[in-house]
């Protein structure tokens, strides 16, 4: 949304507006493009910033830049492995894949922190970097392996989702975590073992393995441990209350999305959306496609239609009988009803040339009837189908979420009015298929002849109803879809048609549905894999279930917090 420049003074003689104009750009394509650009820009800041924060925290903990460098090498190298694999496999960098570094970097240093922490605790005891790091790795190797495997399993489970970008994200983060573990257990110990002892002077915890009790981190942890031991019942009761509140909150969750709402309320995209949706038909587009398919050749139906149109008197009986025979013969080589009508029409034109003057009028009547049937073979030239679309549009426009619709029926009515009188009384669907075909032909003479094919296919067997919504919420789009489905079920069209939805607003509904169902299956899969790993590690299903309790409570409380309204 951008304001036009205000002139310094009104033009002489008047006639100029002194106020500023307001230009708005909104809609789902604009919102998603703006969000994507912002994400890429932000990823250039958080990833280096995360590295800086991790570096500073580790420096505060271990007070040796020389040691802190090795985890940073692991984080950068594992990120390069994942992103290099992404590009090497031919994937593009999109919104999901741009977040891979910010996920890998913090996870990549976790095992390094464990190693350096134990190295800090044990170095004074051994006095030799090589012996100290060997003792640390002997103690931590198994636990680091299992924690890394559970993390890899959690992200790899995203491959179960039916959305390729999410699958790519999950698999590559899993690869990055696996690479981080491999680098951690090789590079970090080798790096620490090669550090000269003189460079580690005054490094390590005093007391040969027990950290200083007066340390800023140690004292709060010891106090927390004492409180946990003495108030176990209170902690369990509070945990149970959190579980109950979370369970209640999860039942109140509503699955919904609207890319325009990804921005703060004062963002130009949001401002333009509010203004334009208040004053115009709607900025969120969806398309309802009606498809009649290919009608097989039906010589009996063609003969019946010709009988109604061509009187038997005046030699018409013989012509009708000949037309029936021609229809039966031509049906063998025709693939569709339209091709059959074209073949019979070509035959009739040739027969008319050979007929005597007295029978030419009857043959001309037959050709006129075939011309009408040819137009009717194109389903969405039929007046009854155009009137059906007109009624469907009226129903859709009755939705509180829809501001306007447009269709082939609307186009034909506009052209029909202009061809007749220009009066509102002629803003109607033509009486015959031939007149509707003429309206399509006249519309092609407009500024862009291709505009007609945006509403109806060239063979007139598919029609497109444009639906402009004033709300981009997925729940509102779902409501419109459900209402249209009920209408089509209760009001059958004159000719059977299939219908399907398209457009970004509907695509977001499909994306949301697949994302939610995919994430549920992914969550269940990762939960099962982590549980089995814990049970295998502790050799007991009961002890394996114990670590899953805090994990489950954390997930439940996180989802319950989604009840807080977004800005």
Nearest to 135 by CA among 152, 120, 151, 157: 120
Reply yes or no on whether the pLDDT at 431 is more than 80: yes
Digit-coded pLDDT (tens) for 300-359? 877 777 777 666 544 566 777 888 888 888 888 877 777 888 888 888 888 787 777 777
- Residue-level pLDDT at 42: 67
Token pair belonging to 464: 């497109």
Q: Distance between CA 438 and CA 422 in Å, rounded? A: 16
What percentage of the chain carries pLDDT values higher than 70?
A: 89
- Residue-level pLDDT at 316: 63
Token pair belonging to 409: 């029926």
Digit-coded pLDDT (tens) for 218-240? 678 788 888 888 888 898 898 88
Give the residue with greater pLDDT, 23 vs 382: 382
Q: Name beta bridge partners: 23.
A: 2
Contact criterion met (CB below 8 Å) for 416 and 430: yes
Contact criterion met (CB below 8 Å) for 212 and 205: yes
Contact criterion met (CB below 8 Å) for 455 and 463: yes
* Across 9-23, 116-130, 211-225, 546-560, least confident range: 9-23
Nearest to 203 by CA among 55, 68, 52: 68
> What strands, in cross-sheet order, belong to the sheet with 284-291?
402-406, 462-469, 284-291, 498-502
- Model pTM above 0.85: no
Estimate to the nearest angstrom the gap between the alpha carbon of 236 and the chain centroid. 41
Q: Distance between CA 156 and CA 173 in Å, rounded? A: 8
Angle between helices 110-126 and 46-62 (to 10 degrees): 20
Digit-coded pLDDT (tens) for 17-68? 445 677 777 878 888 778 777 777 766 777 778 778 888 888 887 777 888 8
- Residue-level pLDDT at 78: 93
Token pair belonging to 393: 């549009």
Alpha helices (runs of H) in 310-464, residue ranges in sequence order? 316-330, 337-354, 360-377, 383-397, 408-420, 433-443
Q: Distance between CA 533 and CA 157 in Å, rounded? A: 14
| Residues 6 or more apart whose Cβ sits within 8 Å of residue 175 | 81, 82, 85
CA distance readout (Å), 38 to 164, 197, 506: 22, 48, 24
Token pair belonging to 396: 């859709």
Q: Distance between CA 207 and CA 184 in Å, rounded? A: 27
Mean pLDDT of the chain: 82
Contact criterion met (CB below 8 Å) for 567 and 554: no
Reply yes or no on whether the pLDDT at 408 is more than 60: yes
Confidence class of residue 214 from pLDDT cuts 50, 70 and 90? very low
- Residue-level pLDDT at 178: 93
Q: Distance between CA 194 and CA 186 in Å, rounded? A: 12
């Amino acid at each position: 949304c951008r304001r036009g420049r205000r002139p310094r003074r009104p033009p002489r003689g008047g006639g100029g507006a002194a106020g500023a104009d307001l230009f708005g750009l909104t809609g789902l394509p604009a919102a998603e493009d703006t969000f994507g650009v912002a994400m890429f820009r932000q990823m250039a800041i958080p990833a280096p910033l995360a590295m800086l924060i991790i570096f500073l925290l580790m420096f505060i903990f271990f007070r040796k830049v020389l040691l802190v460098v090795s985890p940073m090498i692991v984080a950068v190298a594992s990120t390069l492995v994942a992103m290099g694999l992404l590009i090497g496999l031919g994937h593009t960098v999109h919104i999901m894949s741009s977040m891979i570094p910010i996920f890998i970097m913090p996870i990549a240093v976790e095992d390094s922190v464990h190693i350096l922490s134990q190295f800090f605790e044990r170095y004074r005891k051994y006095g030799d970097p090589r012996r100290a790091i060997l003792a640390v790795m002997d103690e931590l190797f198994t636990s680091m392996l299992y924690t890394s495997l559970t993390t890899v399993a959690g992200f790899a489970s995203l491959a179960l989702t039916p959305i390729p970008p999410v699958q790519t994200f999950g698999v590559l983060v899993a690869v990055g975590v696996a690479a981080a573990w491999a680098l951690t257990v090789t590079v970090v110990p080798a790096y620490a073992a090669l550090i000269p002892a003189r460079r580690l002077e005054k490094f390590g915890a005093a007391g040969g393995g027990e950290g200083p009790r007066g340390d800023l981190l140690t004292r709060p942890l010891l106090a927390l441990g004492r409180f946990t031991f003495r108030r176990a019942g209170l902690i369990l009761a509070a945990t149970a209350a959190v579980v109950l509140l979370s369970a209640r909150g999860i039942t109140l969750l509503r699955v919904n999305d609207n890319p325009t709402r990804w921005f703060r309320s004062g963002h130009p995209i949001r401002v333009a959306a509010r203004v334009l949706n208040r004053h115009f038909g709607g900025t969120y587009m969806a398309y309802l496609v009606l498809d009649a398919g290919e009608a097989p050749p039906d010589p009996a139906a063609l003969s019946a239609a010709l009988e109604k149109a061509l009187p038997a008197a005046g030699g018409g009986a013989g012509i009708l009988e000949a037309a029936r025979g021609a229809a039966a013969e031509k049906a063998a080589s025709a693939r569709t009803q339209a091709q059959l009508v074209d073949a019979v029409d070509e035959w009739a034109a040739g027969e008319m040339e050979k007929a005597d003057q007295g029978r030419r009028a009857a043959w001309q009547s037959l050709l006129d009837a075939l011309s009408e049937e040819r137009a009717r073979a194109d389903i969405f030239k039929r007046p009854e189908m155009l009137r059906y679309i007109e009624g469907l549009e009226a129903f859709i426009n009755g939705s509180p979420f829809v501001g306007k619709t447009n269709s082939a029926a609307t186009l034909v009515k506009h052209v029909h009015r202009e061809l007749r009188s220009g009066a509102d009384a002629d803003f109607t669907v033509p009486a015959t298929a031939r007149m509707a075909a003429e309206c399509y032909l006249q519309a092609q003479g407009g500024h862009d002849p291709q505009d007609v094919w945006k509403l109806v296919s060239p063979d007139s067997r598919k029609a497109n109803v444009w639906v402009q919504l004033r709300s981009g919420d997925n729940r509102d789009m779902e409501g419109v879809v459900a209402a249209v489905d009920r209408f089509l079920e209760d009001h059958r069209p004159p000719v059977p048609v299939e219908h399907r939805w398209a457009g970004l607003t509907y695509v977001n509904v499909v994306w949301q549905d697949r994302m939610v169902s995919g994430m549920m299956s992914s969550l269940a899969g990762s939960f099962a894999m982590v549980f089995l790993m814990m049970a295998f590690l502790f050799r007991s299903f009961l002890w394996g279930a114990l670590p899953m309790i805090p994990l489950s409570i954390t997930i439940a409380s996180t989802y319950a917090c989604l009840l807080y309204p977004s800005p």
